[in-house]
Amino acid sequence: MSESTDAAAAADQTDPAGRIAAGYAFTGPALDLGALLWDGACLPDRQIRIPLSMLNRHGLVAGATGTGKTKTLQLIAEQLSANGVPVFLADIKGDVSGITAPGTPGARIDERARDVAQSWEPTGYPGEFYSLGGIGPGIPVRSTVTAFGPVLMSKVLQLNQTQEQSLGLIFHYADTKGLELIDLKDLRAVVAFLVSDQGKAELKGIGGLSTVTAGVILRALTAFETQGATEFFGEPEFDTSELLRTAADGRGVVSVLELPAVQDKPQLFSTFLMWLLADLYNDLPEVGDLDKPKLVFFFDEAHLLFSGASKAFLQSVTQTVRLIRSKGVGVFFVTQTPKDVPADVLAQLGNRVQHALRAFTPDDAKALKATVKTFPHSAYDLEELLTGLGTGEAVVTVLSENGAPTPVAATRLRAPQSLMGPIAAADLEQAVKASLLWSRYAEPVDRESAYEKISAEQAAAEAQAEAAAAAAEAEKQARAAEKGAGRATGRGAPKADPSLAEQVVGSGLFRSLARSIGTQLGREISRSLFGTARRRR
């Protein structure tokens, strides 16, 4: 071993903080997270950073409630925007809208800035505000049912694996028959048709879909509509390329999806976020590794996405996360503990910011031990460290510029330069209405699709049945009149009694049945229009 190597090894033993900091001394552009914490002290000259080129290797921001996760993603989003990278944020609680407004100076901000050697200046960043289907403030984001697809739809309808496969057959049937599935009433119309008397023959021909399963799907759709979900599906469909824009000054646009108005529909908004990501994956070209990502997507409350998910859904999520890196998109999952994210997905997350965890219960203690095992070997006692971190402090490990994990670093994080809280409701509404995208997406469009086509076919069938019944009745009356006239004159040969088929066709029961068949589906479909989930006009 050379003298220089011996000296380096000795330095590692005497200055472990220096060895950790050396792992974050990158040569290319990087985001500044904060200053190293070691032995109870904050070391402002030992900076902890993330290489900009590694942001498409995905990440995890985790920690107990109130430990500063939201401020961390705000800090990262600001610096991405400043580097020309567009950002998507899901604003679950309504406190991220402040990223577009300059922050408010104060004593606590000044103290934090001194601790971490930050040159803090109040700064707002270019942003757009969106909402799911126009519920709450924001530019409406909608998807067609076809684009959403059967796997994601099964997730929000809480179907089991067999029912999910059956829903896939229904989508396939609609596609082969040219029945566009744009909104929920289109899907409901197709399912209702397949369980009606007219559609049972079609039902048997699409892969063994049972009437019972179709009925379960229909009831799940009805319940889904009564929860107010009708607004999320329809046209104009949101073009996810809108999330890739930069402002005139070259900074990345921060797209904030406002979700407070739909907090009571966690399965829906978490699955809708997955649709946005999957749609981006389908549309973007392969680009390989870039100097900086095209977009970084923050997936807040990530545990909601995976709760109760089917095997097919988890496989789709895992594949999307694994492959979207090569499209230039980075994904950060934000949740309370790493165990909220399936192991196959967690394995794809190269960058980690772990805030404090609590160990008040046996389950908490078990989660703490599991979290510690997910980190590389560390110079810290991580079990003790993770329960003692303060608000705005975290344990960090990221991928270096050559793709290797950096040493685990306890870090006091920088303060965001934008407003750490929501902007005023009036300012938010003004920003939404002033957007160039408002006129493009604000008003819903209801063009002809499966519902209208099936309704028209049923109306035609009803009219044809009525006409046939009327013709049979007229013929019967004519024969009766002719027979009566012949008897009156004593001439006319006796007519044969009408056949059994003629008797049935001419009966009032037949006419009633024909009308019932023609209108049964209409009643079934129309029920969705008069419930609590009526479409916006």
Does residue 182 or residue 317 have the better pLDDT? 182
**What 3-state DSSP class applies to 98?**
helix
Kindly indicate the confidence band of residue 527, based on its pLDDT and cuts at 50, 70 and 90.
Answer: very low
Structure tokens at 242: 């809108």
In contact, 332 and 297? CB cutoff 8 Å:
yes
Q: Give the model's pLDDT for residue 245.
A: 96
Query: What is the per-residue pLDDT across 318-344, written as a single tens digit (0 to 9) for each?
Result: 988 999 999 999 999 999 888 889 999
Least-confidence region, from 228-232, 251-255, 388-392 = 228-232
> Is residue 87 pLDDT above 80, yes or no?
yes
Residue type, 163: Q
Q: Give the model's pLDDT for residue 27.
A: 93
Q: Give the model's pLDDT for residue 12.
A: 52
Kindly indicate the confidence band of residue 529, based on its pLDDT and cuts at 50, 70 and 90.
Answer: very low
In contact, 350 and 316? CB cutoff 8 Å:
no
Kindly indicate the confidence band of residue 3, based on its pLDDT and cuts at 50, 70 and 90.
Answer: very low
In contact, 408 and 382? CB cutoff 8 Å:
yes
Tell me, what DSSP letter sits at residue 390? Answer: P
pLDDT (mean) for 355-380: 88
Kindly indicate the confidence band of residue 397, based on its pLDDT and cuts at 50, 70 and 90.
Answer: very high
d(CA 21, CA 451): 62
Strand order through the sheet with 393-397: 41-51, 30-38, 409-413, 393-397, 351-354, 59-62, 329-335, 295-300, 87-91, 254-258, 127-132, 139-141
Determine if the peptide bond prior to 122 is cis (ω within 30°): no
Q: CA of 112: how far to CAs of 119, 246, 391, 456, in Å?
A: 10, 30, 12, 67
Structure tokens at 533: 């989930």
d(CA 107, CA 112): 9
Kindly indicate the confidence band of residue 488, based on its pLDDT and cuts at 50, 70 and 90.
Answer: low
Q: How would you write 506-519 as a 3-class SS string?
A: HCHHHHHHHHHHHH
Instruction: Identify any residues that bridge with 31 across adjacent strands, giving them in sequence order.
Output: 50
